[in-house]
Amino acid sequence: MPEAFAPLKNDLLIRAAKGEETARAPVWVMRQAGRYLPEFRAVRANHEFFEICRTPELASEITLQPIRRYKGLLDAAIIFSDILVVPQAMGMDVQMTPGPYFPEPLNVPADVEKLKKVVDVNVELGYMFEAITKVRKELNGEVPLIGFCGAPWTLFSYMIEGGGTKTFQKCKTWLFKYPEESKALLTRIADVCVDLLVGQIKAGAQLVQVFDSWAGELSPHDFAIFSLPSLKRISAGVRSRLASENIPAVPMTLFAKGANQSLAAQAVAGYDVLGLDWCIDAVEARRIVGDKVALQGNLDPNVLYGGREAIEREVKRMAESFKMGGSAKGWIANLGHGITPGVDPEDLRFFFECVHKYSAKAV
């Protein structure tokens, strides 16, 4: 059973995730503990990226940095870690140099033999669970804590490309040349993701998000064949495991970036919330998904470089779009992707203030 933690004082995120009406939209941003914060850069100056992930004291400190700085403005914490801890747990070497780098990527299906046959997440990723429990204690119920993992398709692409890519040539070679082997690997990754998310929830995560950052690189047809089945395997697997162990369910969010052409399919993939990027308007997204799911997003992160006037104007427009003439209901305000390193932290504060103002009922 999860440990007993302090009761939640701010449950806006959880209520919005369940599709409920809230006095204003809860707000957090992807990568909120990151390089745009001087206090993050100060810790990072003395520690390697994955060293921070593996050290609960450091991961917890960094997770809490934006919560302290934006006290009363930020409605969720997200555990500091990375999606690439899953390939590490499966036996691959991953470095951050400064982007992700795999010295030995999977070149051909036979390379899958090099992966661990059995992955015990408690052994490989226990440090993440420890960090989550530590953050929950330190948050003392102030705001909920989000856990996460990468989606199998996005992780598959890193494991085969050996890092970031613009062309997706190697991983798509796998999809089209070795479709069955690809599906088998995607399933294998999904099973580790289920164990990881269940472990995070047991450790104290109150909502979990699956990041499919490269979903938009697939045609709708290939998304349905190569990404969606493993995303469904994760939502179904997490829910049934929690039920069988008598652990209360937590809301689950799917952020399939760029896959707006597949929103209708995402809405029935077993998630409570869909994350949106900025390439679709909320009114259109809501029309497609109906009342099946809550929505999260979706300001273009580069609006934060546009100055206060632009930030206010664009947040107001976003809020009107999500509220659709009514009040905030089933809407979690966020950027449409992660915040970038050059943003002035005070401009982010202003973004939060604008969300509070324009998502409120009377505005």
Active site residue 313: no
Residues 137-176 that bind ligand CP3 (CB under 6 A): 148, 164
Residue 36 as a binder of ligand CP3 (CB under 6 A): the answer is no
**Burial (CB count <10 Å: 0-12, 13-18, 19+), residue 290:** exposed
Phi, psi dihedral angles at 342 (to 5 degrees)? -85, 0
Active site residue 35: yes
Residue 84 as a binder of ligand CP3 (CB under 6 A): the answer is yes
Task: Provide the mask over 261-300, with x wherever binding to ligand CP3 is found by CB under 6 A and - wherever it is not.
Answer: ----------------------------------------
**Binding test (CB under 6 A) with ligand CP3, winner from 17, 22, 25, 32:** 32
The residue from 44, 239, 241, 349 that is catalytic is 44
Helices (H) and strands (E) in the chain, counts: 16, 9
Choose between 214 and 358: whose C-beta lies nearer to ligand CP3. Answer: 214
Contact assessment for residue 277 and residue 297, using Cβ atoms and an 8 Å cutoff: yes
Residues 90-109 that bind ligand CP3 (CB under 6 A): 96, 98-100
> With b meaning 16 or more CB within 10 Å and e meaning fewer, what string describes 18-52?
ebeebebbbbbbbbbbbebbeebeebbeeeebbeb
Number of residues forming the site for ligand CP3 (CB under 6 A): 23
Residues 6+ apart with CB under 8 A from 87: 94, 102, 155, 158, 159
The residue from 70, 158, 271, 358 that is catalytic is 158
Active site residue 31: yes
Contact assessment for residue 133 and residue 3, using Cβ atoms and an 8 Å cutoff: yes
**Binding test (CB under 6 A) with ligand CP3, winner from 15, 31, 172, 202:** 31
Residue 35 as a binder of ligand CP3 (CB under 6 A): the answer is yes
Which stretches of the chain bind ligand CP3, using CB under 6 A?
Answer: 30-35, 44, 49, 78, 80-84, 96, 98-100, 148, 164, 211, 213, 338
Catalytic residues: 31, 35, 44, 82, 158
